[in-house]
Structure 1
Amino acid sequence: MESLVARVAPRRAVLGIAGPPGAGKTTLVSRLLTAVTAYEGLSGRVAHVPMDGFHLTNAELDALGRRDRKGAPDTFDAIAYAGVLASTRAVPRAVVAAPTFDHGLGEPVAAGAVVPVDADLVVTEGNYLLLGSGDWAAVPPLLDEVWWCALDGEVRVSRLVARHVETGRGLEDATEWVLRSDEANAQAVVDAAGEARADVVFVDGSVVREGRS
């Protein structure tokens, strides 16, 4: 990561963590943010901008009739997301505010994250970083490097169901949501062939490929 930062200085570097739902993106980001504290050159100089913060609000989804597909590509403000990523790359640097997502409330939180001037690396993660179509086409050029998370389908689905149960859904409801909604989103991500365009591929937290295929 230090080499990535040095390669694009004096602007900030942007590292994307992408992959289908339930493949381990959030876990990898958590591990990464903990690990960088051990590196003198990066400790305290890494910011986190999650894609989930750019969910449309429930009121907006209700107005669009898309509440039942929350999490699909068109239920995010991809234009605003790309705009924030572009702002983090700008020189001279400025403080950049970004929304986060409250999973308990199921709503975005305005300015929940702040990228300070002295942050050299911005880590961002989400399903659609390499989708490359519609409004999402603006995102890949803003990523200096992309790490892809992959996972066996059955394991991924079981983890997604467990995640939804933890946030309050009943088991039957959680399973129906995952098989109908999350898996449709996963298929869109797989169809976009993002894994082939990633710089590093992880399976269940372990590196299985470095360099683009």
Structure 2
Amino acid sequence: MNSRSKLLVAASVVALVQIGFLASAIYSRASLLRNGQEITLRTAPVDPRDLLRGDYVALSYDISRVPVDHIQTARPRDNEVVGTVYVRLKRGKGHALAQIIAAGLGARVNQTPGENEIDLKGTSLDRWQDDLDSINVQYGLERFYVPEGDGREIEQGLGERQFTMRVAVGETGDAQIKALYDGDTALYSEPLY
């Protein structure tokens, strides 16, 4: 095999690996949207612009602040970063809002989730202090990209009306935004692909 043939084979292998990686990421996201359990979360505004990706609605949720008295696992040492948080939510009937019922730091709450309960995985960069009332948790759901020009209008509406986000949650606790709602009206839905 000459050097030109070796180069062609190497380039083909690299291209196949890259395509495989992209296909895996797309399939993983689509699978979560299609098969994940759905919850509804109340949103709150932050800021709507990203120079590289366009307009987005930056969000926080009612469940972004987890009360310390809901934590049912061991707690970190003083001044240690909290890290991974599993928040047990009780799903509302229909599209009623999900509510925090328990939380685990670094591990899920010991008991198996009951009917209409689901564990959502997040991260807290807060440093643990024994006198904390709550910890701030991010779930990877804090940005929702919208068509250019719509971000500011939605942000203004967030202060005036109740917006909710429908979210698909997989068995591992990972989540993906499905749709943004203004009351009962769907403003945007994420396509599977």
TM above 0.5, yes or no, is no
TM-score for the superposition, normalised by structure 1? 0.25
TM-score, normalised by the number of residues in structure 2: 0.27
Question: Which structure shows the higher helix fraction?
Answer: 1
Which one has the largest radius of gyration?
A: 2
- The structure, 1 or 2, with the larger RCO (C-alpha pairs under 8 Å, 6+ apart) is 1
